[in-house]
């Protein structure tokens, strides 16, 4: 006897709850003025927040296509806007503190990143850290990656961003296999390090 197929709406609702749970700590961190992050980390966290929010909106549309209008987007939007605004303020402050010796601001980031763009097809020019397969670059890559995703709570979301960072195909394929096997993210990171770092 075949297992009953799970209702797609239930699957989407679980995915939406997971995304909302990942957005919440990022939003809290954005509004935490006692926390100091470097410019790169702030911009990458802004990119992560936007990506999670856009994924959530896509799933909400799917749910509404089956069940009609819901209030999930109205509840999520102010959280996202408030967090993005706080991130933009932090980025602007951090950028202004990084000056040349002559006192002029260094144009490290495109202004569209700082102010945020309402276009959904716009991506920040500053990307996530990349791993190209060299054992010598692993430790610095891992430290930067872990700092960038420190506010994410769901393993699934950490896997998504790690896969984007792995330029080395063998590492990327292994990461995908580990995720599909259900291995917790932290254990997968240790396994990757063992396979591609200690063994060269």
Q: What CA–CA distance (Å, rounded) separates 183 from 25?
A: 23
| Report field, pTM of the whole predicted structure over 0.85 | no
H or E element in which residue 54 lies: helix 39-67
Mean pLDDT is lowest, of 9-23, 70-84, 118-132, for 118-132
162-170 contacts, C-beta under 8 A, 24 or more apart: 162/189, 164/128, 165/128, 165/129, 165/130, 165/131, 165/141, 166/130, 166/131, 167/130, 167/131, 167/132, 167/133, 168/131, 168/132, 168/133, 168/196, 170/133, 170/196
Beta bridge partners of 105: 99
Number of Cβ within 10 Å of residue 119's Cβ equals 8
| pLDDT(182) > 80 | yes
Is the model's pLDDT at 80 over the cut of 60?
Answer: yes
Whole-number Å distance between alpha carbons of 154 and 159: 9
Q: Which residue has the tokens 């470097």?
A: 38
Percent of the chain with pLDDT over 90: 0
Which whole-number Å values give the CA distances from 70 to 50, 58, 79, in the listed order? Answer: 21, 13, 17
What digits encode the pLDDT tens for the residues 143-159?
Answer: 888 887 777 778 888 88
Task: Please state, in angstroms and rounded to a whole number, the distance separating the CA atoms of residues 198 and 139.
Answer: 11
- Let me know how long the chain is: 200
Q: How many CA atoms lie within 13 A of 5 on its CB side?
A: 3
């Amino acid at each position: 006897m075949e297992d009953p197929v799970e209702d797609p709406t239930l699957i989407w609702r679980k995915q939406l709850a997971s995304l909302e749970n990942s957005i919440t700590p990022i939003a809290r961190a954005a509004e935490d003025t006692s926390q100091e992050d470097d410019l790169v980390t702030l911009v990458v966290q802004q990119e992560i927040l936007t990506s999670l929010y856009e994924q959530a909106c896509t799933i909400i549309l799917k749910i509404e296509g089956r069940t009609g209008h819901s209030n999930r987007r109205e509840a999520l939007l102010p959280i996202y806007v408030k967090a993005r605004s706080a991130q933009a303020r932090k980025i602007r402050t951090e950028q202004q503190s990084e000056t040349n010796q002559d006192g002029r601001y260094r144009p490290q980031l495109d202004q569209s990143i700082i102010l945020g763009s309402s276009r959904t097809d716009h991506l920040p020019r500053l990307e996530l850290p990349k791993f190209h397969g060299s054992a010598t670059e692993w430790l610095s890559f891992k430290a930067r990656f872990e700092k960038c995703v420190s506010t994410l709570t769901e393993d699934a979301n950490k896997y998504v961003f790690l896969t984007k960072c792995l330029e080395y195909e063998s590492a990327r394929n292994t990461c995908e296999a580990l995720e599909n096997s259900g291995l917790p993210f932290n254990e997968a990171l240790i396994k990757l390090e063992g396979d591609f770092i200690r063994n060269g």
